[in-house]
Structure 1
Amino acid sequence: MQKVIVPEKIDNLTDHFLAKQGYDVITVKNPDEENILRLAPDAAAVVMYISPIPNTMYAKMPNLKVLARNGVGFDNIDVDYAAQSGVWVTNTPGSNAISVAEFAVTDLLLLAKRSVEFSQRMLKWNDWGARQLMSHEIFGATVGIIGFGHIGQQVAKMLSGFGVKVLYYNRSKRDSEYGTQVDLDTLLKESDYVTVHIAATPQTEGLLGAREFKLMKNTASLVNTARGTIIDEPALVDALKSGEIASAALDVFDQEPLPADSPLLKLDNAFLTPHVASNTESATLNSARGAVKMADQVLKGQKPDWAVNQPDTDKLR
């Protein structure tokens, strides 16, 4: 009987799906390196969250066939090294697309309407003088979407009813009735709001830095619900402090949890949330079901539907 390591929450959400398929299921709160090697170094599959999987683990897990990521991002795994080691890596694309897209659009509206600032002024100081401040309509504004996969496309679709002009940047050609594909510099120069939905890869690390913020309007706002590494955080802090851009809403950070001494926490024009854009019941259930399905497919000798690498067939375990 093949062993599978599964987070307790996912096992419960999926009604013990993998156990019902005949696997020896070992549940843990969080499958990280320590728990995996302590409980089941002979496991054939690991259904995992975001704890990193170091390349040294493959030699310690001779039976491992698949790392099934519960979620979309897989920057916590060296997928090429996993492939060289004969291990599949899978994710659950689209499982959280609506949830994250809704969150991004909400952030965009919060920045436009200055809702958090108004609320804080009233709650902290009962400051009705804030009524003299002006917010913005997004009708007629230009919204730039960086990354036009499942989430980016949902953002564009949701914004179609707001009367905005949508520009989007994607590394490959992608047609859409909801916007116009442009190069990154054009998007940054023309957008009033920029929302980030591109995958975190070595190629996209630091994609938005000092040069890019200089291209943006000083009235523009930035939303990031993708990954913190895509943005040069110190450069963003400088841009927000200097007024190079107007504001930002960030759900992801270069280091998580965000350090208590992070300069972002001291900025009045930065709205911060603790990586919760996909934290909805629907997205959580979709992702859990997808992850256990991928593990099951691999262990039954099938090619997984949502593979993010292609293991060397001579080394498949």
Structure 2
Amino acid sequence: MRRRLLLAATLAAPALVRPAFAQSGGSNRPIRLVVPFPPGGTVDLLGRLAARELEAGLGQPVVVDNRAGAGGMIGSDNVAKSPPDGLHLVVSNIASHGVGAAVNRTMPYDPLRDFTHIGLIAAVPTALGVARDGKYETLAQFLAAARVSAGAVKVGSSGNGTTGHAKTEMLSRMAGVELLHVPYRGAAPAVLDVLAGQTDGVMAAVADIGRNDKLRLLAITSAERAIRWPSVPTFAELQFPGLVANNWFGLSGPAGMDPAVAARINAALVRGLNTPAMAERLADLGTRPNQMTAADYTALVAAELPRWAQIVREANIRVD
């Protein structure tokens, strides 16, 4: 009798765990989500928000793994070379999968061919910020000063070859002025030099500089004004429609992932992002929830690559 009961219990055990496997797409092992930048920045914040929503939606642990370096290339390359089993994901972004491909001739991966792009987390606009107690109150004043003497107006960014660098060059070309780009190791030191009067402005993600009450935002790169910064005009409003250019962040895995697994992860991500609480959180970053499919996000990455390649080529942007 004991042997029959033991056998019955053994046969019943798989049925007890089957719902957990089905819910997580075939595995109850943790998903490793690589954030290819250091903790504390916008990429890290969005990665951790996405990880939380994936855990809730998939019923599966998600472990955030910060692997910073080379403008996001080190962490991205690590995932590109991982098994396509749905357990290795990366926060793909405009730096590692857009601008980076244009400014780095020795990229270890192809941003399209080597990845399965799953979904967009957020598209965060960039802003041009100046010291609030400084001499510039409008973008027109800022550009007028640049017209007086080429290179006299200095704009900081998070580094050579970054989106802030590229957008500074875009503004220079569209306005017909020569802004002097000054690279830093991140937005924080660039802001410090603006406040110290060493530079005139900083071009960075609105999430990184928008809450600093010592800065004044002159313009923002989104197509419409941001909810949290309604008084800040868009570059498009100020006659620069070509400067609608957001910093996008999404989820991607290695090439060859099962489309059904990618779709399941996308569904959990979209469902989590479109809750009232997440909509409020995303508004703090200057963006709104989205409902992009995997195909939508793949198309976005594909469209951004030639756009930034042309901008980088025309502006002769280099990383050295």
TM-score by length of 1: 0.33
TM-score by length of 2: 0.33
Higher relative contact order (CA 8 A, sep 6+): 2
